[in-house]
Amino acid sequence: MRALFLPLCATLLLPAAAQAAPDPWEGVNRRIHGFNALAQSYALAPAAALWRAQVSAETRAGVGRVLANLGEPVTALSAVAAGDLSRAWNAARRFGINATLGWGGWHDAAAERGLERQPLSPGDAACAWGLPSGPYLVLPLLGPSTLRDAGAALAANAALAQGLGAAPVAGWQAGDAFLAYERAEPALTRLEAESLDAYAALRSAWLQRRAAACPQDEAGVAAEDDAEPAPR
């Protein structure tokens, strides 16, 4: 689920320039966005504040690294599917080194040996195969995605649950998504407070961020911009 939520951390630092977006399900998406905003206000934000208040920065960072290391096999498999064997080998080595010398990832022993994280999601692999992004989606609690990315993540999660069991996979994903929210929470709060239309601002910024990672999406967005310029 990191692939669906974590991009918010970088997304919300981008200017929300006007941009055409394939959003045929906007009515439903806006309702889910509203639900997410309530969940953030009454559940996630208080939980994030408690996490920061009661857990030291060092421990929070260590937990984050452990959860990130558990995602390295997903990166490795996604990279193989995308034909990026170098990235797959990097992820496999990182997982092995951090699982042993790094105490499960508490310390990033792999980075100390020059193996930096190079995350790749199932959605990125689908992009590499040329699959179109499809409509923009807002997922409950997880936030922005596209039909392609959400479908790829769902397929990967189903495969993981079959191999490892549903409970461990769900626990890892929930923890990973919560930490992603905790990092993005200040920017999300600022966007909600400062934007006349927080939904449109988040959609525009997220699609720009996603297009930067998937060039074919960027081409599709540019084509929509040329066909129907957004009003200023």
The per-residue pLDDT for range 91-147, each reduced to its tens digit, is 999 999 999 999 999 999 999 999 999 999 999 999 999 999 999 999 999 999 999
Q: Is pLDDT of 228 > 70?
A: no
Sequence ranges of the domains in the chain:
2-13+20-222
> Above 90 in pLDDT, residue 61?
yes
Q: Which residues are registered as beta bridge partners of 136? A: 146
pLDDT at 217: 76
Query: Which of 158, 135, 155 lies closest to 147 in space, CA to CA?
Result: 135
b/e per residue 126-137 (b: at least 16 CB within 10 A): bbbeebebbbbb
Residue whose entry in the numeric block shows the structure tokens 């310390």: 107
User: Residue 119, class by beta-carbon neighbours within 10 Å (0-12 exposed, 13-18 middle, 19+ buried)?
Assistant: middle
Please give the average per-residue pLDDT across 73-81, as a whole number. 97
Residue 104 backbone dihedrals phi, psi, to 5 degrees:
80, 5
Name residues whose C-beta falls within 8 Å of residue 120's C-beta, 6 or more positions apart in sequence. Answer: 75, 78, 79, 82, 84, 87, 91
β partners of residue 137: 145
Q: What is the pLDDT of residue 2?
A: 52
- In 3D, which of 167, 149, 27, 6 has the Cα closest to residue 71? 6
Rounded to two decimals, what is the model's pTM? 0.82
How do residues 139-198 score in pLDDT, each as one tens digit? Answer: 999 999 999 999 999 999 999 999 999 999 999 999 999 999 999 999 988 988 899 999
Q: Compute φ and ψ for 145, nearest 5 degrees.
A: -160, -170
Neighbouring C-beta atoms of residue 44, cutoff 10 Å: 19
Helices (H), ranges, 101-146 = 109-112, 122-128
Average pLDDT over residues 44-61: 97
What is the DSSP code (8-state) at residue 107?
S
What pLDDT is stored for residue 8 in this prediction? 54
Please give the mean pLDDT across all residues of the chain: 88
